[in-house]
Amino acid sequence: MPKRFHMKKVDIWFEDESRVGQQGSLTRIWAEKGTRPRMPRQQQFLYEYIFGAVCPKREIAVGLVLPWANGEGMHLLLNEISAETPPGRIAVIIMDGAGWHHFNGLVIPKNIRILFLPAYSPELNPVEQIWQYLKDKFLANRVFDSLEEILDECCVAWNAFANHPSLTTRSWAVL
């Protein structure tokens, strides 16, 4: 971190991606005791990725729904986070070690620093809880007819969360 920046001018962000598609998630539902409800399960392979980042201190979230998880998608998300970072502040983004996070051609904006989590430690990233929440409340037990429907439903789910990002609040994440 540059010496000219005090921690009071640093925003901690958490970032992750999740795939959503036709081979989706199943989740628990209410059913009459003694019954075993049937849930739809698709075999097709259409999917989208949600790139999401949250800043618990500022209670804001940014997200993109993209057809791929790669360096270009990461670049787009970093630009969104950079635009949400007020002038004179630095965004420190905590993320896992996915291959597209280390993409050689990745251009990191000047107001962003990246901090990688240790390998195999998803429990340290509160964004993992967002995916579980979105799938449980919006995206599980679904049949998607088209790529456009997946995209629309991912956007609806993310926007519903982004209006209430307190799900990711951690006392240790707020400096």
Q: Which residues 6+ apart lie within 8 Å of 28 measured at CB? A: none
Give pLDDT, residue 96.
93
**Helix, strand, coil percentages for the chain (3-state, nearest 5):** 35, 20, 45
- pLDDT score at 173: 47
68 and 98 in contact (C-beta within 8 Å)?
A: no
Tokens read off for 105: 């051609």
- Give pLDDT, residue 172: 44
Task: Give counts: helices (H), strands (E), the chain.
Answer: 3, 5
For 74, the token pair is: 């990461």
* Ordered mean pLDDT values, 10 residues apiece, the chain (175 residues): 71 93 63 75 73 92 94 95 95 92 87 93 88 86 84 93 70 47
* pLDDT at site 114: 94
Q: Which domains does the chain have, with CATH numbers?
A: 7-22+43-173 (3.30.420.10)
